[in-house]
Structure 1
Amino acid sequence: MPDDETPGGRPVPAEVSTDCVPQAERWSWWGEFSGRELMASTISSPYADRFHGAMQAIGTPEAQAAAVTVSPLTALRTAAHIRRDDPENYYLVLVRDGRVRIEQERGTACTEVGELALFSTSHPLACEFVDLGRHTEMTLLRMPRTDFPLRGGRADGLLGTTLDTSSGAGALLAGYLADLPHAVRTSGPAEAAKLAAIAADLAATAIAVQIDAEDRLPPESRNAALLARIRAFIDLHLADPDLDPAAIAAHHHISVRTLHSLFAAEPETVAASIRSRRLRRCHADLTDPASGHRTVAAIATRWGFRHPGDFSRAYRTAYGHSPTETRTRARSGRP
């Protein structure tokens, strides 16, 4: 994937598109680009004369994520391709629009919107972006086999299969990858790279759960995935005024002390994270015309604040003015 960096050496989002290439050259250009940045394969498409492809990528050496949009096509990676060049990567694909069919290692994954499938560059592969009359949109997560927490090719048993996203780690991973393209576009370079690293930890955990190998994950991967699950739980229960560190710890079957240790390296404590997330939700409601019928007190209560006075003080500290001023500014069109 594209590997741009800031002057300080941090990766930044890289965006490429066939739109910058003359129409007659777009298909051949995409073939060269995808072969270089993803993996070598033989591709074909009924839309070669009007092909569209785009990719936005971000990542770290251990994991790279990309939002990809392509016209319907098929890709075939043979043993000959692998002998010539094998980057030795796993790819996890989440379909955001369209349908993707993946065949690998005697498995076939017919992946619909919201579903996940795993494939590898080290085995022959057939992939079809099914023609449904529109572009296929997906999130790709690339994970080098040499850095993957589950060693010895233990994940190979899931190649060419659709992963379970109905609950637990799989559901969290699917939701995370669905939101990742937007999160990357609205994040700074350092934060975006961290988002890709978290995606890799969640992927390793989801895969480990499906092959009953959670105990084989290194502690840092388990902790990162647990922290991501806790953050998702907090977001889901912000409206509950009883949401506090004790309730969070109890739900995840850990001690409050362990919970605080997980947040030790984070910018905010557990309680501060809950408060700041509630304040952001309140701020969004205060500036949203669709919430104009709600009073300030109702908005505060909606997001878990028990006492309007406490909310107003916390809000003024965070934003520099009162909730009422925020609403007035929003209605008048002032920033």
Structure 2
Amino acid sequence: MDEVKVVVAHSERATDPENYHIGIPLNGTNRVTWTDQKAVQGPHKIRDFDNSRAVEVDCTNEPDLLGIGIEIPRAQLHLPRNKMDQLSTHEMSGQEGIGALLIQLLTQLTADTGHYQPSDGSRLGTVVVDLLSALFTHALDADRTLPPETRGRTLVLRIRAYVQRNLHDPRLTPRTIAAAHHISTSYLHRLFRTEHETIAAWIRRQRLERACRDLADPALCSTTIHAIAAHWGFTRASDFSRAFRAAYGMTPKDYRHQALLAPEPTAGACLKDRVSP
């Protein structure tokens, strides 16, 4: 991803003095030593290492240790050097908030590389840098040092994660999303002007895709269409049918019938492809 390198590694790391190294064990434990300090880094704990300084990472007693390492040039982070120096004493959580978003993205990238094109590298690199910058500034309480565009992109990622967790809630609207993130509704709409679709259209598409998946699931064949629609936030059957027909070109009943009759593993696949990205 441009100059940002994401690797899955067991123990070795690069030592380019112009880079920072961010280490994240997924299982097992690192024992870290630098100058006169020592630390134990457990699973899903995030640490920044300045490669220009001597740091020892001992995982010799962890033969099954698996983790993710990120090499990022100093110049790409949006924090002053004196602020970055303070991070050597910080251990950041990868189980909640921005840290969890970062690990979720990195594990998906390393596990599913075949679905990305070379042209995606620059955009994905920008997302990783923005998340790291936001994570570091949160740890240092230095958010004002981030450029506005980085704060905006990071906020969009947080909003998308929030929406994914709350798609089942029929009260999920631009107004409630804005309130949950302490921003105005107009600012929320401005954030999504640079995205492919409005926030309302994106929410509707996410709900339809999940309803589509459930309609094609043989295990849910006894669940009514209305119950599936309601589970994904559609309180009115007429609204769901109208939105579904507009997206898929057929009624939910016809979609379910065709999807359940199609041979595995292609059930519903051709219909899903009709939804615009």
The one-letter code of the counterpart of 1:172 is L
The one-letter code of the counterpart of 2:210 is R
Distance in 2 of aligned mates of 1:183 and 1:248? 30
Q: How many residues align?
A: 264
The one-letter code of the counterpart of 1:141 is I
Which of 34, 49, 55 is matched with 1:104 structurally?
Answer: 34
Give the superposition deviation at 1:131: 4.2
Q: Write the mapping of 1:295-306 to structure 2, written as runs, cut at 5 A.
A: 295-306=224-235
Give the superposition deviation at 1:263: 0.4
Which of 176, 180, 202 is matched with 1:247 structurally?
Answer: 176
**3-state SS in 1 of match to 2:67:** strand
| 1:116 has 2:46 as partner | yes
The one-letter code of the counterpart of 1:98 is G
Give the superposition deviation at 1:107: 4.4
**3-state SS in 2 of match to 1:143:** strand
Distance in 2 of aligned mates of 1:64 and 1:158? 20
TM-score when normalising by structure 1: 0.70
- Alignment correspondent of 1:149: 78
Are residues 191 and 150 of structure 1, via their aligned partners in 2, closer, same or farther at CA, if it must alter by over 3 Å? same
**3-state SS in 2 of match to 1:117:** strand
Give the superposition deviation at 1:220: 1.2
- Alignment correspondent of 1:11: none
Alignment gaps of 5+ in structure 1: 1-58
Distance in 2 of aligned mates of 1:222 and 1:169? 12
Distance in 1 of aligned mates of 2:131 and 2:13? 28
The one-letter code of the counterpart of 2:42 is E
8 Å CA contact 1:141, 1:200 repeated in 2: no
| 1:309 has 2:238 as partner | yes
Larger proportion of helix: 2
Encode CA deviations 1:278-301: one digit per residue, 9 max, x unaligned: 112112222333333322211111
- Alignment correspondent of 1:256: 185
8 Å CA contact 2:76, 2:129 repeated in 1: no
Distance in 1 of aligned mates of 2:161 and 2:136? 19
Report % sequence identity: 34
Q: Write the mapping of 1:267-282 to structure 2, written as runs, cut at 5 A.
A: 267-282=196-211
Are residues 231 and 324 of structure 1, via their aligned partners in 2, closer, same or farther at CA, if it must alter by over 3 Å? same
8 Å CA contact 1:91, 1:118 repeated in 2: yes
Give the superposition deviation at 1:277: 1.0
Are residues 121 and 277 of structure 1, via their aligned partners in 2, closer, same or farther at CA, if it must alter by over 3 Å? same
Encode CA deviations 1:285-325: one digit per residue, 9 max, x unaligned: 22333333322211111111111222122223223333333
Alignment gaps of 5+ in structure 2: 270-277
Give the superposition deviation at 1:191: 4.2
Distance in 2 of aligned mates of 1:303 and 1:266? 23
- Alignment correspondent of 1:54: none
Encode CA deviations 1:200-236: one digit per residue, 9 max, x unaligned: 1111111111112111111111111111111111111
Are residues 103 and 311 of structure 1, via their aligned partners in 2, closer, same or farther at CA, if it must alter by over 3 Å? farther
- Alignment correspondent of 1:65: 6
**3-state SS in 1 of match to 2:245:** helix
Distance in 2 of aligned mates of 1:147 and 1:185? 26
Encode CA deviations 1:220-269: one digit per residue, 9 max, x unaligned: 11111111111111111111111111111111111111111100110010
**3-state SS in 1 of match to 2:26:** strand
Give the superposition deviation at 1:69: 4.6
- Alignment correspondent of 2:273: none
**3-state SS in 2 of match to 1:60:** coil
- Alignment correspondent of 2:249: 320
Distance in 1 of aligned mates of 2:224 and 2:244? 15
**3-state SS in 1 of match to 2:213:** helix
Are residues 324 and 142 of structure 1, via their aligned partners in 2, closer, same or farther at CA, if it must alter by over 3 Å? farther
Distance in 1 of aligned mates of 2:97 and 2:83? 20
Distance in 2 of aligned mates of 1:193 and 1:261? 23
Are residues 97 and 253 of structure 1, via their aligned partners in 2, closer, same or farther at CA, if it must alter by over 3 Å? same
Distance in 1 of aligned mates of 2:117 and 2:102? 22
**3-state SS in 2 of match to 1:94:** strand
Give the superposition deviation at 1:175: 3.5
**3-state SS in 2 of match to 1:95:** strand
Larger proportion of strand: 1
